[in-house]
Amino acid sequence: MIQQVSLKVLPQEAFSDTAITKHAATSLGVKSKDIIGFHLLKRSIDARSRQQVYYVLTLQVFVNEPFHDRPHLSFRYDALKINAPAAIIIGAGPAGLFAALRMIELGIKPIVLERGKDVRSRRRDLASLNKTGVVNPDSNYCFGEGGAGTYSDGKLYTRSNKRGDINRILHIFCHFGATEKSCTTLIHISAPTNFHTLSPPCENKSKPAAVKCTSNKR
């Protein structure tokens, strides 16, 4: 049986497979040894209380069920026909770049016009901006390749589920080289506070998002 479960755990438990398995077992009313493995679907931080910060984990749990990898969405960006219809996109920010990818999927040739500079050159303009306070109107924190998204640290993302499939976007990131972990563990912080208390221990930073409990294998 495969079940989805949402757990609220302490920060020191959020990266421990053993602790997570134990909480999942309690929540599902089964024994820890019955949990063959789990996929971490989402990890967010509930920092609304000043007394205690929690991690909220959404898991897909395999209970007495052979563990298997999650199916990956695949994308094809084939070369377009020479006579493919073309469309012009203004701006190479996240919206423009994703629109361009979608057009390629649909067989339309995107022509992206960007007023700013490429990422590498933007860095020089930002250094100058920070030093002199003078803004280059075409190349700054918002204008240039990647748009404002270039200088986002990527920690936060939309909670909206009305405007498209977030999961698909995360898989596109993986298609272009992001780690598997990026597909599942983007963090949403419900009320930021005391960030220094939230860092996971260094040795856990590369934890995979899918966990097979080999010790529980029967």
- Numbers of helices and strands, H then E, in the chain: 4, 6
φ and ψ at 181, to 5 degrees?
A: -60, -35
Nearest distance in Å: CB 119, ligand FAD: 10
141, 178, 200, 208: which one contacts ligand FAD (CB under 6 A)?
141
Nearest distance in Å: CB 98, ligand FAD: 8
What secondary structure does DSSP assign to 113-127, as a single string? E-SS--HHHHHHHHH
φ and ψ at 200, to 5 degrees?
A: -70, 160
Q: Rule CB under 6 A: is residue 144 a binding residue for ligand FAD?
A: yes
107, 142, 179, 197: which one contacts ligand FAD (CB under 6 A)?
142
d(CA 102, CA 104): 5
79, 133, 153, 196: which one contacts ligand FAD (CB under 6 A)?
153
155, 168, 205, 217: which one contacts ligand FAD (CB under 6 A)?
155
Q: Rule CB under 6 A: is residue 115 a binding residue for ligand FAD?
A: yes
Q: Rule CB under 6 A: is residue 172 a binding residue for ligand FAD?
A: no
1, 86, 90, 191: which one contacts ligand FAD (CB under 6 A)?
90
Give whole-number Cα distances, 193 to 47, 51, 201, in Å: 6, 11, 18
Give whole-number Cα distances, 89 to 103, 108, 154, 157, 168, in Å: 10, 12, 24, 24, 21
Q: Rule CB under 6 A: is residue 95 a binding residue for ligand FAD?
A: yes
Nearer to ligand FAD, 37 or 93 (CB): 93
Binding residues (CB under 6 A) for ligand FAD: these are: 90-96, 113-116, 141-144, 147-149, 151-157
